[in-house]
C-alpha cells in the first residue's frame, strides 16, 4: 500500500501517468490551496479563482498520460494556471472594450432600431448571468426584480427571513455587477 503523502512529487507524477487516482488526489490536496491563493490574488474573484483551479486539475487529469513534465509538477501547475488566468484577463479586456464601445454608442445613438437590438443583447447577457446563479438566489432575485415583490413579501412566500432575502438580493446584484461590469450593471438597473 502506498503512503501518498510521504511520496515526492516525482513519484506521484509517475503514479499519475499510470492512472492512479490516489496519486492525483494527493497532488490536488498538495497544490490546490496555493494555486487558489495565487489565482485569487490575480483575479480578485473567489468563484473565478475556484473555477480556474478546477480547470487546471481537470487538464492535469485529462492530459496525464501525454504531458511531458520537463519542470516539476508545481512548475507545470503554475504555468497552466498562469495561462488560464491570462485568458480570463484577456476575455475581461474584450468585455471592457465592448462595454466602452456600447457606452460610446449610447451617447451618440440616432437609430431606435439599433438601440433596441443592443438593449436586447444586454437583456440576453443579463438573463444568461441570472440563469447561472444558484437556484435559491435566482428564485429570490427574480421574485424581487421581475415580480416586483418586497423583501417582506418574498420572505413570507418562501418561509424565510427578510435578512436572508436581502442577503440573496444583494449577493445577486454584486454578482451581476462583477460579471457585467459597471456600465452594463447600471443599464440593468434601469431596465
Provide the grid cell at 16: 499519475
The CATH number of the domain covering residues in 4-89: 1.10.1740.10
Q: Which among 98, 92, 93 is positioned nearest to 184, based on CA atoms? A: 98
Q: Where in the chain is the domain with CATH 1.10.1740.10?
A: 4-89
Query: Does an H or E element contain 75, and which?
Result: helix 73-108
What SS3 class is residue 186? helix
The CATH number of the domain covering residues in 109-190: 1.10.10.10
Span 11-64, pLDDT tens digits: 888 899 899 999 999 999 999 999 999 999 999 999 999 999 999 999 999 988
Torsion sign (Cα): 81, 82, 86, 92:
positive
Going by pLDDT thresholds of 50, 70 and 90, the confidence category of residue 67 is confident
Provide the grid cell at 179: 460579471
Q: Where in the chain is the domain with CATH 1.10.10.10?
A: 109-190
Span 93-113, pLDDT tens digits: 777 777 776 666 666 655 556
Amino acid at each position: 500500500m502506498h503512503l501518498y503523502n510521504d511520496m515526492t512529487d516525482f513519484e506521484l507524477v509517475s503514479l499519475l501517468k499510470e492512472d492512479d487516482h490516489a496519486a492525483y488526489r494527493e497532488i490536488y490536496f498538495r497544490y490546490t490551496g496555493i494555486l487558489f491563493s495565487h489565482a485569487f490574488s490575480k483575479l480578485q474573484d473567489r468563484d473565478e479563482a475556484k473555477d480556474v483551479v478546477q480547470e487546471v486539475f481537470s487538464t492535469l487529469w485529462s492530459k496525464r498520460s501525454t504531458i511531458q513534465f520537463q519542470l516539476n509538477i508545481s512548475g507545470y501547475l503554475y504555468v497552466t494556471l498562469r495561462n488560464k488566468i491570462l485568458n480570463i484577463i484577456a476575455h475581461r479586456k474584450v468585455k471592457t472594450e465592448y462595454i466602452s464601445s456600447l457606452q460610446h454608442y449610447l451617447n451618440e445613438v440616432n437609430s431606435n432600431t439599433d438601440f433596441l437590438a443592443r438593449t436586447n443583447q444586454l437583456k440576453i447577457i443579463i438573463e444568461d448571468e441570472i440563469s447561472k446563479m444558484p437556484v435559491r438566489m435566482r428564485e429570490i432575485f427574480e421574485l424581487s426584480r421581475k415580480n416586483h415583490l418586497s423583501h417582506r413579501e418574498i420572505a413570507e412566500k418562501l418561509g424565510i427571513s427578510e435578512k436572508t432575502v436581502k442577503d440573496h438580493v444583494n449577493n445577486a446584484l454584486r454578482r451581476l455587477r462583477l460579471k457585467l461590469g459597471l456600465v452594463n450593471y447600471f443599464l440593468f438597473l434601469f431596465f
